[in-house]
Structures are given as structure tokens and as C-alpha cells.
Amino acid sequence: MPTRSTPLADTTARLDIAADLLTLLRDTTTEPRPDSQLEALTLAVAADLPVLLWGEPGIGKTAALNQLADALDLPLTTVIASVHEPSDFSGLPIVGDDPAEQGVPLAPPDWAVRLVRAGRGLLFLDELSTAPPAVQAALLRLVLERRIGALRLPPGVRIVAAANPRSSAADGWELSPPLANRFVHLQWAHDTDVVVRGLGGTWPRATLPRLDPGKLPDAVAFARRAVCELLTARPGLVHRLPSGETRRGGAWPSPRSWEMTLHLIAFATAAGSSRDVLSLLVRGTVGDGPGLELLASLDRMDLPDPETLLADPAGAVLPERGDLRQAALDAVVAAVRSRPERPRWDAAWALLVKAVESGPPDVVVVPATTLAALRREDWDVPAAIERLAGVVSLSGRADRAAARTAAAEEAVAKAGR
């Protein structure tokens, strides 16, 4: 007996040491780190919109879902789509005593029963793109209609799907435009810094957004205004089917996806999320072009109201960035043009002086020229205008540079002839 027990004890001891090593390897810490893509995912899931994560295999989508489930305090159920059959999602037929009389009931799979019984949870449908077409069809019905066989998923269950991008999917999988239009498409990429630091023992712990109950009405009003203002100005963006091979299977604008965008703007606003997060969400819902137009129009909505600026030039705060500052000043001049009154004209000059004193003078040239042209005969030139003398000489300097360049070009052209 001792001859047999020694090697056995030895093996157990070796496995214990291996277990110790594994424990050490698993012993990692986390640190808070802002993560735009995780925040975008959280907001879309909170808004109860179907999310489709696009990412290469092995990029950490599952890890992100684990983190999301922790953060939302939901049990996670992962279903690998490619190893299932369509009947696993539409229900397995169960033969009773008299099929002709009572019919054949379709039994849902166990995980679905458990999800429904729990009433809440996060369902992650992985590898959607590598499943056969019939399985995909069954899965998409699950995502979009929330039905598995005869079961209906309760509202507390949130669904996220993942797919490999077309270039790396084995069979060139893609969504048809009507299906693509129902998803929020999030591109999942890895951040080298995060991976290196994580392998070194410290993984990021995303600070997840919380909706501020006090901000809800304002958030809805803001979202409605943002979408409606853009679509009023650009009616062509309301519905535009994707054209061309490169844009197939991605997000595109339609009344449905604009409504999703509206929801997402409201959620991002209530959560106080950054524009980067909102950009991921909006571009993932209506596509790059319309999404960027929406964001550009939000930038313009952020500009100070010209009437507020004119009412109190002394206390006015102008945007720091040159292009936005010029846009704000242009808006002020346009407001004066629409209702030309002496005090407003003077206030506009005061604003231009303020702009020159607090930032680059070249952005003031165009608004100043336009404002000067608005002068009525009986309006005296305000004293403040002298402080804009530098702007006039700057403009003259640019004119002279233009003249010299033109002369040099002409000389070259002559010599060439």
C-alpha cells in the first residue's frame, strides 16, 4: 500500500501547487478608468435597445459583458450561437399522447426557462455571424421580438449580440438593411494600454454612468430639440437607404433609427456622458454621415445664444476654440442685422473687443467687417472701436501678403511663357 499511496499523495500535492500558482495569476486588481465604449454599451443596454457589438475574435467582448453584468447587477447568460440549432431558439417539439388532437408543443431551452423565471438578466448572444443562416434568423427574432418558442422574455432581461466584422467573418456574413436598421452598432476595439496594464495585473474598472433623476425632463427636451432641429434643416436625412458595397450591413438613418437616436441622446444627457460616448452611440445608430451632422448641430446648439450675449456683453463668455468663437460672433452679427438697433450694434462691438482681447484676432476680422457694414448714417462710431485697430492692420497685412503672392505667381507665369 505505501508504494501506491506515495505517488498519489505526490500528485495531489503537485496539483495543489498548480492551484496556488493559478490563484496567484488570477490575483489582479482593478483601477477606475473612463472607458467610452463600455459607457456607450451601458447606456444602450439601459435604454433597452438591441446592441450589436462588432469586434475581432478574442478582443475582450465577453470580458466587457461580464463587467456590464456586474455593474447592472444582472446575472449573465451567454449563448454561443454557432453551436446551436434553430429549434433551440424557436423551441423543441415535444410529442404528447395525441399530437393530432393536442398539437406538438415547442419546448424552450433550459436557459430561457431560467431567465424567464428569474425575471431579469443579461443575455449575451455571441458569435452571431458564424451561425448558419437559419439559426441567425431564429436568433434575430429572439433579439427583436424577445420570443423563444412560446416564451416571452420579461422586460427585465436585456439582450446584447456580438458578431465578427465582415473582413474577418469566415463566410462574409452581413445583415440585411432592415435588420441592420434595428440595432445600435458598436465597434469594439482594444486599447493597447489597457491590455498591457491588465496583463501586468491591473485591469480597468469602468466608472459606469448613472442616470440623474433630476435631469430627466431636460434630457428629453434636449434630445427632442436636437433631432428635430437637424431633421427640419436637413429633411433628406430622415430616410436614406445605404448604397454601395462598403456601407452594407451597417447603420443607416430612418424614422426608426432616429427615434432610437433620440432615446440615446436623452439617456446620454441624463447620465452626463461625454460627447465621445454620444458620438459612438449616434454614429452606431444612424451611420457616420448623419451622426456627424447631428453632432455638428449639437456643437452649434452649445454655442451661446446671440441674444444673451448682446444683452450682457461685459459678462459674456465666448467659446475658447477659434472656429466656434467665430461662429458665435457671426451669429451675434446676424442677430444685429435681423433687428438693427443702435444699442445692439454697440453691444456687438463690445463683444468683438472682448474677443480680440481674449483670443486670436484673426477670427474677429470677418464679423467686424460685416458689423461695420451694418452702420446707419446717424450712428456714431463707438469709442471701443479703436481697440479693434489691430484687427484692421492685421487684415491689411493679409491683403498685402495676398498681393505679393499674386504678383509672384504672375511673374512665374510670365517667365514660364
Partner 1 sequence: MTATETGTGTGTLDRDKLFAARLHAARVRPYLATALFALHVVESRRVPTMGVDRHWRCYVSPVFVDRTPVEELAGVWVHEVSHLLRDHHGRSDRVARERGLNGPGDRLRMNIAADFEINDDVYGDGLARPEGVVEPGDLGLAEGELMEEYLRKFSVGPRMQDLAWLDCGSGADGRGREWEFGPDGAHGLSEQERDAVRFRVAQGITGRPGSAPQGWRRWAEEAFHPPQPWRELLGAAIRSATSGPGAGEDYTYGRPARRSTAIPGIVLPSLRRRPPRVSVIIDTSGSVSDAELGSALLEVAEIARAVGGRRDLVTVVPCDASAGFARRLCRAEGIHLTGGGGTDLRAGFTRALRSRPAPDVVVALTDGQTRWPGTRPPCRTVVGLFPRGYDGHAYDDHAYDESNPVYVPDSPPDWARVVDIGS
The footprint of partner 1 on this chain (CB under 8 A) covers a number of residues equal to 60
x/- site string to partner 1, residues 6 to 45, per CB under 8 A? ----------------------------------------
For partner 1, the closer CB: 121 or 291: 291
Does the footprint of partner 1 cover residue 229 (CB under 8 A)? Answer: no
Alpha helices for 200-305 (secondary structure H): 216-233, 255-270, 275-286, 288-302
Counting every residue written for the chain, the total comes to 417
- Which residues are CB-neighbours of 128 under 8 A, at least 6 positions away? 52, 81, 136, 139, 161, 162, 163, 173
Q: In the bound complex, what is the minimum distance in angstroms from residue 268's beta carbon to partner 1?
A: 12
Cα Rg, the chain, nearest whole Å: 31
Residue 243 identity (one-letter amino acid): S
Closest Cα partner for 187 from 215, 163, 154? Answer: 163
Cβ atoms of residues 139 and 129 within 8 Å: no
Cβ atoms of residues 188 and 59 within 8 Å: yes
Q: In the bound complex, what is the minimum distance in angstroms from residue 26's beta carbon to partner 1?
A: 30
For partner 1, which residue of 104, 195, 221, 317 counts as binding (CB under 8 A)? 104
User: Phi and psi for 406 in degrees, rounded to 5?
Assistant: -60, -45
For partner 1, the closer CB: 75 or 133: 133
Does the footprint of partner 1 cover residue 274 (CB under 8 A)? Answer: yes
For partner 1, the closer CB: 375 or 397: 397
- Which residues are CB-neighbours of 287 under 8 A, at least 6 positions away? 242, 247, 250, 251, 252, 253
Place of cell 436598421: 181
Q: How far is CA 236 from the centre of its chain?
A: 22
Interface region with partner 1, contact rule CB under 8 A, candidates 219-227, 257-265, 306-314, 398-406: 398-406
For partner 1, which residue of 70, 218, 276, 307 counts as binding (CB under 8 A)? 276
Q: Where on the phi/psi map is residue 55: left (φ > 0), alpha (ψ -120 to 50), or beta? A: beta
Does the footprint of partner 1 cover residue 134 (CB under 8 A)? Answer: yes
Site for partner 1 in 50-89 (CB under 8 A): 85-87
Does the footprint of partner 1 cover residue 94 (CB under 8 A)? Answer: yes
Site for partner 1 in 293-332 (CB under 8 A): 293, 295-296, 299, 320-326
Does the footprint of partner 1 cover residue 398 (CB under 8 A)? Answer: yes
Does the footprint of partner 1 cover residue 369 (CB under 8 A)? Answer: no
Interacting residues toward partner 1 by CB under 8 A = 85-87, 92-95, 99, 104, 132-134, 137, 166-167, 171-174, 245-247, 274-276, 278-279, 288-289, 292-293, 295-296, 299, 320-326, 360-363, 365, 390, 393-395, 397-398, 400-402, 404-406, 408-409
